[in-house]
Amino acid sequence: MKNLFFLVIASLFISCNISQSPKSEVVTTNAWTAAYAMAAGAKDVRVLTPYEMIHPSEYELRPGDISHLNNAEIVIYAGYEIMMGEIRTGLKIPDEKMLQIQTSYKLEEIEESVMKIAQRLGTEEKARENLAAIQQAMSEAQKSLIEKGFGEESAVVHFFQQSFVSEMGIKTQAVFGPAPPEARQIMEMTRTNATLIIDNAHNPSGGALRETMPDAAYISLLNFPGLYSTQSLVDVIEYNTRQLQSLNIRTVSANSNETN
């Protein structure tokens, strides 16, 4: 009888703790969707994937994530995450909690996704302020790179870096990845005589091009925040810009001057 009494008390204690557990306003699948949520004005953002993870899309759910997902008011995801299968079929999170966005560094798509989140949260005013800061960072980054001659460069670009490279005004000659390019593709890209090889830090696949295009400058850029002390979209824009600025580029105009 005494044991039964303690079991009843314990069960009441647990049920009280569960009912009083605070809800997360926003749960995000990774640092990129989190950056969008923060840009939209979200507070108390819970990020499931560790910030330092190199391949965030490959993160699989852990037991501790389940309570956050169940208690979330909104779950923001992009759709490429491995965990989405578990969330959809295993946990059966209600559709009204889920919000899918597009993640890229194309300004038009950033604005669309940020405002989509803000409309759900009722934070449109804050979102517009943050979007203005993102647009300014992108504009300043493009200006600094154009001034250094990147507008005269041509690049072979990793599939997941196309949006950023396009916004920076760098001409894309060919696209590779996500998988390593095949021999025929390597040959075709080598013939472009591109001056830049722009790879993706999270799943680099342009290593073979460094051997067939030895005169081209190679760089690996971020799209997910988290590495190298990045957290926001502006952080990534500024980090990628610094990486490009560090290159000793071989511009078309410089080559023309040497020929003359």
For each of the chain's 260 residues, which pLDDT tens digit applies? 434 333 333 333 333 333 334 455 899 999 999 999 999 999 989 999 999 999 999 999 999 999 999 999 999 999 999 999 889 888 889 999 999 999 999 999 999 999 999 999 999 999 999 999 999 999 999 999 999 999 999 999 999 999 999 999 999 999 999 999 999 999 999 999 999 999 999 999 999 999 999 999 999 999 999 999 999 999 999 999 999 999 987 554 444 344 33
CATH topology identical between 16-129 and 145-247: yes
Residue 232: count other Cβ atoms within 10 Å of its Cβ. 19
Distances (CA, A) of 99 to 39, 120, 121: 15, 9, 11
Residues 154 and 213: their CA atoms lie apart, in Å, by 13
Residues 202 and 210: their CA atoms lie apart, in Å, by 18
Largest CA distance in the chain: 100
Nearest CA to 178 out of 194, 162, 196, 155 is that of: 162
- Is the separation of the CB atoms in 171 and 192 below 8 Å? no
Could you state, in order of their start, the residue ranges of all structural domains in the chain?
A: 16-129, 145-247
CATH class of 145-247: alpha beta
State pLDDT tens for residues 176-203: 999 999 999 999 999 999 999 999 999 9
State pLDDT tens for residues 31-59: 999 999 999 999 989 999 999 999 999 99
CATH of the structural domain 16-129, one choice from 2.40.50.140, 3.30.450.20, 3.40.50.2020, 3.40.50.1980: 3.40.50.1980
Sign of the dihedral through C-alpha 104, 108, 111, 115: negative
